[in-house]
């Protein structure tokens, strides 16, 4: 566990070095992806480590299934080793208002 004196979610992800390297997602490319999603859905970082990060979603997508498909492209493990279907991922995100990336 670590504590960083910042409110900048991108700085936190950069300092931790969060990535999905087994899917060729470097820290820099992940931050680019998160910035795109943040602009659309107003994300609040609530946790991160080397191979995962989690956000609260403050601006709901118009279509949760479309959003879940976007997430699956970035992080197949959340479906393949988690919810088992993209539809289930959409339902989980809609219910919890959370976005979770985890790369095995």
Does the residue 14 lie in any domain? Answer: yes
Does the residue 34 lie in any domain? Answer: yes
Point out which residues pair with 48 in neighbouring strands: 53
Does the residue 36 lie in any domain? Answer: yes
Instruction: Give residue 93's domain range.
Output: 9-102
- The pTM of this model reads 0.89
Does the residue 1 lie in any domain? Answer: no
Does the residue 69 lie in any domain? Answer: yes
**pLDDT in the model for residue 8:** 75
Look up residue 94 and give its two tokens.
């809609």
Does the residue 81 lie in any domain? Answer: yes
User: What whole-number percentage of the chain has pLDDT above 70?
Assistant: 93
Does the residue 3 lie in any domain? Answer: no
Please give the helix or strand (H or E) that residue 93 lies within, else none.
Answer: helix 86-96
For residue 70, what are the CA distances in angstroms to 59, 66, 101? 16, 6, 12
Which residue do the tokens 């566990």 mark?
1
Q: How far apart are CA 7 and CA 67, in angstroms?
A: 26
Overall domain count for the chain: 1
Does the residue 49 lie in any domain? Answer: yes
Task: Summarize pLDDT for 15-61 with one digit per residue, the tens.
Answer: 999 999 999 999 999 999 999 999 999 999 999 999 999 999 999 99
């Amino acid at each position: 566990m670590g504590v960083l004196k910042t409110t900048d979610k991108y700085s936190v992800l950069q300092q931790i070095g969060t990535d999905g390297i087994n899917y060729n997602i470097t820290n820099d490319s992940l931050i680019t992806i998160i910035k795109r999603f943040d602009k659309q859905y107003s994300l609040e970082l609530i946790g991160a480590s080397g191979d995962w990060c989690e956000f609260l979603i403050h601006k709901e997508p118009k279509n949760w299934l479309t959003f879940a498909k976007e997430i699956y492209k970035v992080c197949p493990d959340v479906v393949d080793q988690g919810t088992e279907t993209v539809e289930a991922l959409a339902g989980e995100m809609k219910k919890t208002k959370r976005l979770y990336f985890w790369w095995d």
